[in-house]
Chain A
Amino acid sequence: QSVLTQPPSVSGAPGQRVTISCTGSTSNIGAGYGVHWYQQLPGTAPKLLIYVNNNRPSGVSDRFSGSKTGTSASLAISGLQAEDAADYYCQSYDSTLRGRVFGAGTKLTVL
């Protein structure tokens, strides 16, 4: 069981905006550690999408944005496109486990 909780699945129609939540605790997100997001397209390696809560690496579309409040974080995807269909993972550091932790992942379906 992951220490970071994500919904198993979300869906949206093309052009819509969807959000994916990542709920942690006071030993990870709530302790001030950064939250990072990855996109994994089918059959490929994960790709860094958002780092340290709300920063986009060069080349990542500004349709992707991240936020963090308290012990939770969210990834928002606006102007949904068919190619956004993928698995999305949040990740942080946990002081109790003394290591990096991932959420279980959320499967995004574009209707």
Chain B
Amino acid sequence: QLQLQESGPGLVKPSETLSLTCTVSGGSITNNNYYWGWIRQPPGKGLEWIGSVYYSGTTYYTPSLKSRVTISVDTSRNQFSLRVSSVTAADTAVYYCAIEHREDYFDFWGQGTLITVSS
């Protein structure tokens, strides 16, 4: 069964760049049935889709974050990554990576990692 694990710094300073990696195990990231997505959840709030990537490198981003977000895929390492630039306190959230089915639903989720933006 496919499993996902997020990894990242935990604490990021304002104006810096947040970088997270999601490692896929139990299957190949080149599976053409899936996209690979990032979703975040600010403390006590709801879910927000950030963006998704196909193994070919094709990306889709939510409009409100598009100018600051980059999602990439590394097929050799079976990983995909998220970068969010110029972060502020509003970017503090639990960040989840997830497997996205071609019909736009998220099959499986990583356990999530809390990223705090603070000096």
Contacts and interface: CB of A to CB of B under 8 A. Distances in A.
B47 A52 contact: no
Nearest to A44: B111
A45 B110 contact: yes
A89 B63 CA distance: 21
B103 A51 contact: yes
Contacts of A91: 47, 49, 104-106
Contacts of B106: 36, 38, 46, 48, 91
B41 to A, nearest CB: 8
Interface residues of A, number: 26
Given A45-B109, A45-B111, A51-B101, A97 B46 contact: no
B104 A100 contact: yes
29 contacts: A2-B46, A33-B104, A34-B104, A36-B104, A44-B111, A45-B110, A45-B111, A45-B112, A46-B47, A46-B96, A46-B106, A48-B106, A52-B103, A52-B105, A91-B47, A91-B104, A91-B105, A98-B60, A99-B62, A100-B52, A100-B62, A100-B100, A100-B104, A101-B49, A102-B39, A102-B47, A102-B49, A105-B46, A105-B47
Interface of A: 2, 33-34, 36, 38, 44-48, 51-52, 57, 89, 91-93, 97-105
Interface of B: 37, 39, 46-49, 51-52, 60-63, 96, 100-101, 103-112
